[in-house]
Structure 1
């Protein structure tokens, strides 16, 4: 926000989006004498006041969800040249629900989109801290489900995908550098389609590309990073998708101990019970 106009935008991950921008024509300070100087100063203050009010009202419109009456953002950065941004942050016209979300007020040397980009650069450290705190909270919640043994969690590729297929996953948590590929394979003999998820190590093992019983060759029909597949498909399963790093203590533990993939479930699920269902009774083979 500066003397020429205001831009509203959002940043999510690395995706920046301009929501709205408008320009304003404010009178400049003039050296006029006598009566007109006072009148002019009053007019100028009034226009400034209206400009701040319009910006404050639009902020509420863009950043408060009318359904919940809560902010739809995790934090706000106010940026601009001159003192408009400070005036806005301290103004009683600015929504107190948004005031509580201000993370940073920064000076930028441009207006419009250049200023938007500059504000993001200048706030990089603060923004990564926000991500860091959210990540700690999210994985903390996941570990809590496990420690209380609620049955509302899954981990590992296979179990997580089974729970996804059942529509049981509320939040899918994936390490942002998960190095697993999703293969669609076709049995060369009987034309059966098989889906496998292989790590770099497993890819070098040729037995993964042969049928276990008949040794028939499995031809690769499609190969795609599992991360990319999740990003394309997660909405279909009605869950939210959260990418995490291994930089926080929690994140590191999640990647090391749980293979960097898991989910918080909507309801209790006993994964073991549908392992038995899916294998057509072969589960009992090793019991004799």
Structure 2
């Protein structure tokens, strides 16, 4: 219990150090997400040691996912889920809030067709990683050579700003978070405007110049 107490105290001290601007005595972030092991998050958020100026900035995961589910239940068309559609939405600049499970286990591959030199992007989970057919062209069986391999989580963290969206990591510890991970693959987004992904797929099929995302 003493170690837990010290851990929470140290985290609270570092949070103030990192997220309060000493010049203005105000938070330098618009929102904070608490993540981590078991109920440490709750313990920290309710602790007297945690700076009240930062407590006001904690983003409520349930509220975020609740908003996402609301868009779906009202069928507003302002949502995407799954790797494929979320990536397409990002490429179009349509995603306002990108929501990703903090333990999403998907790798982003940049592959080069050994015969044609064509570059292909694939996003593979652990099972697909070990399936060699994913590293061959489906029609010609030409080898697809790995040029880059990155955790999709890491890629999002580095690249999300270029898509003009905010990035929110969620856990699967709450009922809402668990439902998001199980029902929607742990990745999705709230859109700025209504988007019909089916019509976008038809445009891609007609030869529009978009990345081949599997």
Instruction: Give the corresponding residue for 1:225.
Output: 151
Give secondary structure in 2 for the equivalent of 1:222: strand
Higher relative contact order (CA 8 A, sep 6+): 2
Equivalent residues of 1:10, 1:18 under 8 A apart: no
Structure 2: gaps (5+ residues)? 1-12, 34-44, 208-214
Show CA shifts across 1:153-197 (max 9, x none): 000000000000000000000000000000000000010000000
Offset at 1:276?
1.4
Mapped to 2, the partners of 1:266 and 1:10 lie a distance apart of: 34
RMSD (Å), alpha carbons: 3.0
Instruction: Give the corresponding residue for 1:173.
Output: 99
Aligned residues: 182
Offset at 1:135?
0.4
Q: Which moved more, 1:272-281 or 1:205-214?
A: 272-281
Q: Does 1:20 align with 2:22?
A: yes
Q: Which runs of at least 4 in structure 1 moved beyond 4 Å after TM superposition?
A: 71-75
Largest Rg, 1 or 2: 1
Q: Which has the higher strand share?
A: 1
Mapped to 2, the partners of 1:230 and 1:192 lie a distance apart of: 24
CA, structure 1 residues 216+244, in 2 after alignment: closer, same or farther (shift >3 Å)?
same
Offset at 1:204?
1.1
1:250 aligned to 176, 193, 209, which one?
176
Instruction: Give the corresponding residue for 2:163.
Output: 237
CA, structure 1 residues 18+148, in 2 after alignment: closer, same or farther (shift >3 Å)?
closer
Offset at 1:280?
3.4
TM-score calculated relative to the size of structure 2: 0.76
Instruction: Give the corresponding residue for 1:145.
Output: 71
CA, structure 1 residues 167+137, in 2 after alignment: closer, same or farther (shift >3 Å)?
same
Equivalent residues of 1:10, 1:19 under 8 A apart: no
Structure 1: gaps (5+ residues)? 1-8, 22-57, 66-70, 76-101, 107-118, 282-288
Instruction: Give the corresponding residue for 1:266.
Output: 192
Mapped to 1, the partners of 2:176 and 2:19 lie a distance apart of: 30
